[in-house]
Amino acid sequence: MVEDLFRIENLSMSFGDKKILKNINLVIHRGEIFALMGPSGAGKTTLLRILNFFEKPAGGDLFFEGTRLSHVREINTVRQRMSLLFQTPTVFNTSVFNNVAYGLKVRKMDRTAIEKKVKDALTIVGLQGKERQKARTLSGGEAQRMAFARAIVYDPEILFLDEPTTNLDPANVAKIEEIIMQVCDEKTTTIVLATHNIPQVKRIANRVGLLLNGELIEVSSKDQIFNSPSDARASAFIKGDMVY
Amino acid sequence: MNGAEFLYGGAVKAFELIINLDPYVMSITGVSIKVSGTATILAALTAIPLAFALSFLNFRGKQGLITLVNTGMGLPPVFVGLFIYVMLVPAGPLGFLKMILTQEAMILAQYILVTPIIAGISLAAIKAVPGPIIETVYTLGGREKDAVITTLKEAKFGIITAILAGLGRALAEVGAILIVGGNIAETGSIAGIGEGLSRTRTLTTAIVSETSKWDISTALALGIILISLNLSVNLLANFFRGRD
Amino acid sequence: MILISLIAGCVQKIPAGDLTSTTKTAPPPQELVLATTTSTCDTGLLDVLNKKFEETNNVKILTVCEGTGKAIATGELGAADVVMVHAVQAELIAVANGSFINRTYMMYNYFVIIGPENDPAGIKTAKNASDALSKIAARQSQFISRGDESGTYKMEKSIWKAANITPAGTWYQSVGKGMGETIVTANIKEGYTLSDRGTYLSMKDKTDLRILFEADQTYLFNPYHVMAVNPAKFQNVKYDLAIRYINYTTSQQAQDIIRDFGRDKYGEALFTPAIINERR
């Protein structure tokens, strides 16, 4: 059964005079991989941050599981069911283990369980055996993969990914994409992916929303948007003819 | 005697005093450590929570408090000493505390001098923790408490530096403690090195009184001990830094 | 009834200090705060003088060495129990305003005018202290002044006043430092300065300056007095102990110590006891 996880109605957002998001209407279903596609500066990151409750929309409504955001009492408790991976990996100044274990520790999981889950997560991203290394000594790509492991280690219900494969070489890109699909399949995690990488969207997304200059031009299934886009601008973007 | 001979004499005397564990010199060193150490610990216990409150909380008068901290970093010690002196003398408003000319009065003076320094440097260290680090805490399900703890961990070297800067300032401070403590040594050592022990005489106040008598070699010897003390504190800090 | 009051009266009259020998476990020593001038501290006199008193009375004397002006102020604010100072005018004012009582003359010495051995202003032949300073001013020879609130500076000002001179100009420099540093500064600048005899003698081997003028009974006379902080003004002051100390400083025992202090080290006494001469 398809269920509405997020529902956005007439949402707008601006920083100062600059309008970042204009009149957004969007529904995200439980268990899907939804790609928020668009060029840099289109408003993808801002929309992700709104969905993860970091920003309050200037106008319109945001419903989570049918409840209006302003009625959600414990934002932090709801947020505990989610995870957001920033485009630029942030690294806590401690060991790789402590970085990845962070979300488990704040959930008061016991030590042996933490050790097992961290080990598994590091193995998934190809960083096995690096537990004791200082996280700051990782390369850019390794840091990105560690941050990915840290984001998925506690099995969030909802995973927001902001350009998750920047910094990565093709082999690791393939690996991360594989994990994303695996996580979605096996753990029924809902994934919202912000990316400008069209082939990536083609490879892993179920549904796609195209965001251009703060406007959601088209929301439809992957097949439909790539095969018969309803909007001329969508068509131009997909073909790479977009003039910025 | 020329300057080099004075220095040589001072170094020899310092060496002798240390080797012989001269009880008077040990006692003034002890008073220095006790007064400045206690003042620094109390100041750290005030200043670090204060720095966190100024970083994480919004409250009325916050900007005023920040201005107060910044001004306090440059408080003239003699002024602080005089102020506490007139408050604590029996003729003053707090005379009933019977604190004048005691180590407690010296601790109070240095507490007032050191708290803004630790708070100011800690505040800068906390502000230097990148914003995305804090946001990452929340994306991984952490709460305000976790954000504070993580900030503390990320800023810990800055905060240790702040505490050491405070301790260094306290150990080197003379203007305030000379006034409120009175540079008292027990009979036998009133004129300087002898068999009496220090009551409120520290390395710095003893250097002042030895200099005013122009007993340069003793003053230099005490100075060498003071600098060695400050040096060992910093070496210790470097050691801990290296271990992390 | 009469008997009881007699006994009570007797007990009250026995001073606490005399009981120490009979008590088995000595009580913790009482503390007496003495504010005084640097000359009594830095010469080491108080280390010797106070020790005897501490031993016989189970007392710890906490000595604050800070110059006469500050010592009097410390007493006036109630932060000391007893003061030992050397500035007659300031003492009389402080007694008159009720800050101190039982002002007692304990010892004296003379101020000396010291300067470079070649004595450029020729003060060796001066008639008196004001004449000596007049010669220095006339020659505009370097003069280094304490310039603080010390007894020495108060004395210097009164001599200038007697000479009817307001010292000013590049030759007159005020340093605002202790006696020892002032002597060192005068030594470097090859100038004159006024010093108490005790401090000069204790620094004799650290300076090239010599005593060029002394023994002016009118102006260079430097008496030291002890006085108790008035208990009517500050209730918590240890008045009984202060009185005991004041009486001690004029006792035979203390006056002997003052008479002999410094003879072994400097070849001459630094202070002259105030009372012993009259007795002998």
A27 forms bridges with which residues in the sheet?
A7
Q: Closest Cα partner for B1 from C120, C266, C203?
A: C203
Residue B209 and residue C65: Cβ atoms within 8 Å? yes
CB atoms within 10 A of CB A151: 26
For residues C157-185, average pLDDT: 91
Pairing state between β C82-85 and C221-229? antiparallel
Domain of residue C194, CATH code: 3.40.190.10
Distance CA C111, CA C172 (A): 19
Q: What pLDDT is attached to residue C279?
A: 45
pLDDT at C93 over 50: yes
**C100-147, pLDDT tens digit by residue?**
999 999 999 999 999 999 999 999 999 899 999 999 999 999 999 999
Residues C66 and C204 in one domain: no
Q: What does the block give as tokens for B50?
A: 């204060």
Mean pLDDT estimate for chain C: 87
Residue B162 has pLDDT above 70, yes or no: yes
Residue closest to A95 by CA, chosen among A128, A62, A131? A131
Retrieve residue C180's tokens: 């020892």
Q: Are residues C149 and C87 in the same domain?
A: no
Q: What is the token pair recorded at B141?
A: 């399900």
Which pair of structure tokens corresponds to residue B97? 């505390």
Closest-CA distance of chain B to residue C62, Å: 6
pLDDT per residue as tens digits for the range A58-91 = 999 999 998 888 877 788 888 999 999 998 889 9
Q: The domain containing residue C159 runs over which residues?
A: 110-220
Task: Give the pLDDT score at B213.
Answer: 83
The DSSP bridge partners found for residue A215 are: A212
Tell me if C258 is assigned to some domain: yes
**CA nearest C64: which of C48, C43, C79?**
C79
pLDDT value of position C21: 46
Is the domain of C232 the same as that of C251?
A: yes
Per-residue pLDDT tens over the stretch A160-208: 999 998 878 888 899 889 989 988 888 889 999 999 888 999 999 999 9
**Range B126-154 average pLDDT:** 92
Mean pLDDT across the stretch C265-279? Answer: 79
User: Cα angle at A92 between B143 and B50, to 5 degrees?
Assistant: 55
> What distance in Å separates the CA atoms of residue C231 and residue A76, rounded to the nearest whole number?
66
**CB neighbour list of residue A187: distance below 8 Å, 6 or more residues apart:** A155
Question: Which of C220, C246, C261 is the last residue before a domain boundary?
Answer: C220
What pLDDT is attached to residue C203? Answer: 86
Is a pLDDT exceeding 90 seen at residue B7?
no
Q: How confident is the model at residue A109 (pLDDT cuts 50, 70, 90)?
A: very high
Q: Which of A92, A103, A106 sits opposite B133 (nearest CB)?
A: A92
For residue C149, is it within any domain?
yes
Q: Determine what percent of chain C is predicted with pLDDT higher than 90.
A: 68
- Amino acid letter for position A56: K
Q: C97 and C35 in one domain?
A: yes
pLDDT at B32 over 60: yes
Query: Of C115, C118, C137, which is closest to residue C191 (Cα–Cα)?
Result: C115
Interchain CB contact of B133 with A (< 8 Å): yes
Residues C218-238 have pLDDT tens digits of 788 999 999 999 999 998 999
Query: Is C4 inside any structural domain?
Result: no
Mean of the per-residue pLDDT values of chain A: 90
Q: What is the SS3 assignment for chain A?
A: CCCEEEEEEEEEEEECCEEEEEEEEEEEECCCEEEEECCCCCCHHHHHHHHCCCCCCCEEEEEECCEEHHHCCCHHHHHCCEEEECCCCCCCCCEHHHHHHHHHHCCCCCHHHHHHHHHHHHHHCCCCCCCCCEHHHCCHHHHHHHHHHHHHCCCCCEEEEECCCCCCCHHHHHHHHHHHHHHHHHHCCEEEEEECCHHHHHHHCCEEEEEECCEEEEEEEHHHHHHCCCCHHHHHHHHCCCCC
DSSP assignment, residue C208?
A: -
C24 lies in some domain: no
Q: Is B230 on the interface with C (CB under 8 A)?
A: no
What is the domain count for chain C?
A: 2
- C13 located within any domain: no
Report whether C129 contacts C220 (CB < 8 A).
yes
Query: What pLDDT is attached to residue A243?
Result: 56
Coil, helix or strand at residue C150: coil
Residue C277 has pLDDT above 70, yes or no: no
Least Cα distance to A24 among A74, A61, A79, A66 occurs for A61
Tokens 């695996």 — which residue? A182
The tally of CA atoms less than 13 A away on the side-chain side of residue A131 is 12
Judging contact as 3 or more Cβ pairs under 8 Å, the answer for B and C is: yes
Separation in Å, CA of B236 to nearest CA in chain A: 21
- Kindly report the CA angle at C173 between C167 and C179, in degrees rounded to 5? 110
Predicted confidence at residue C24, as pLDDT, reads 54
Residue of B241 and C181 predicted with greater confidence: C181
Residues C244, C204 share a domain: no
Tokens standing for C47? 């280390």
Q: What is residue C66's three-state secondary structure?
A: coil
Of the candidates C187, C203, C220, which is a domain's last residue? Answer: C220
Predicted pLDDT at A241: 65
Q: C95 with C173, same domain?
A: no
B33: pLDDT strictly greater than 70: yes
Is residue C9 assigned to a domain? Answer: no
Q: Which own/partner contact pairs does A174-178 have at CB distance under 8 Å and 24+ positions apart?
A: A175/A125, A175/A126, A176/A125, A176/A145, A176/A148, A177/A203, A177/A204
Count the neighbouring beta carbons within 10 Å of the beta carbon of residue C119: 16
- What residues of chain B lie within 8 A of the CB of C78, using their CB? 89-91, 95
**pLDDT tens track for A128-155:** 999 999 999 998 889 999 999 999 999 9
Tens of pLDDT, residues B86-124 = 999 999 999 999 999 999 999 999 999 999 999 999 999
- Each domain of chain B, given as residue ranges in start order, spans 20-243
Position A37 confidence tier, pLDDT thresholds 50, 70, 90:
very high
β-pairing, C210-213 vs C100-115, is antiparallel
Residue C3 has a pLDDT of 40
Lowest mean pLDDT, pick from A1-5, A80-84, C195-199: A1-5
Mutant choice from C31, C40, C57, C65 vs B, greatest count of B C-beta within 10 A: C65
**C23 falls within a domain:** no
Same domain, C213 and C240: no
Q: Which residues of C touch B106 (CB under 8 A)?
A: none
CATH fold, domain B20-243, is MetI-like fold (1.10.3720)
User: CB neighbours of C271 closer than 8 A, spacing ≥ 6?
Assistant: C45, C107, C108, C109, C198, C224, C258, C261, C262
CA nearest B109: which of B53, B18, B173?
B173
Q: Would C233 be classed as within a structural domain?
A: yes
My answer on whether C176 and C232 are in the same domain is no
Question: Same domain for C60 and C83?
Answer: yes
- The DSSP call for residue C26 is P
A82-106 in b/e burial notation, b at 16+ Cβ within 10 A?
bbbbbbebbbbbbbbbbbbbbbbbb
Whether the pLDDT of residue B239 is over 80: the answer is no
Q: Is B133–A102 a contact, with Cβ atoms under 8 angstroms apart?
A: no
Using an 8 Å Cβ cutoff, are C34 and C81 in contact? yes
Which among C44, C54, C78 is the nearest to B95, CB-wise? C78
Please tell me the number of Cα atoms within 13 Å of A161 on its side-chain side: 37
Angle in degrees, 0-180, between the axes of helices B156-172 and B23-56, rounded to the nearest 10: 140
Least confident window among A11-15, C32-36, C142-146, C202-206: C202-206
Residue C149's pLDDT is: 80
Query: Taking 70 as the threshold, does the pLDDT of residue C276 lie above it?
Result: no
Q: Is the pLDDT of residue B10 over 90?
A: no
Q: From the list B140, B153, B154, which residue is nearest A106 (CB)?
A: B140
Taking CB atoms within 8 Å and a gap of at least 24, the contacts of B131-138 are B132/A86, B132/A88, B132/A90, B133/A90, B133/A92, B135/A54, B135/A86, B135/A90, B136/A86, B136/A90, B136/A92, B137/A102, B137/A106, B138/A54, B138/A76, B138/A79
Identify the residue whose tokens are 């005030």: B46
Cα–Cα distance for residue pair C200/C114, rounded to 1 Å: 8
Do residue C137 and residue C155 come from a single domain? yes
Q: Which member of A90, A154, A160 has the closest CB to residue B136?
A: A90
Residues C173, C268: one domain? no
CA B148, B149, B153, B156: dihedral to nearest 10 degrees? 60
| SS3 assignment, position B75 | coil
For strands C100-115 and C272-273, give the pairing: antiparallel
Q: Which residues of A touch B128 (CB under 8 A)?
A: none
Q: Which chains touch A (3 or more CB pairs under 8 A)?
A: B
- DSSP state for residue B237 in the 8-state scheme: H
> Are residues C210 and C118 both part of a single domain?
yes
Band (C13; pLDDT cuts 50, 70, 90)? very low
Spatial separation of the C-alpha atoms in residues A218 and A212, rounded to whole Å: 10
Which band of pLDDT confidence, cut at 50, 70 and 90, is reported for residue C71?
Answer: very high
Q: What's the pLDDT at C83?
A: 97
Query: For residues B220 and C276, what is the distance between their CA atoms, to the nearest angstrom?
Result: 40
- In angstroms, the separation between the Cα of residue A105 and the nearest Cα of chain B is 9
Q: Does C34 touch chain B (CB under 8 A)?
A: no
* Touching status, chains A and B (3+ beta-carbon pairs under 8 Å): yes
| Domain final residue, candidates C199, C220, C241 | C220
List Cα–Cα distances, C255 to B50, C33, C225, C249, C272, in angstroms: 58, 21, 13, 7, 8
Asked whether residue B232 carries a pLDDT value surpassing 90, the answer given is no
Quote the CA–CA distance of A191 and A13 in Å, as a whole number. 22
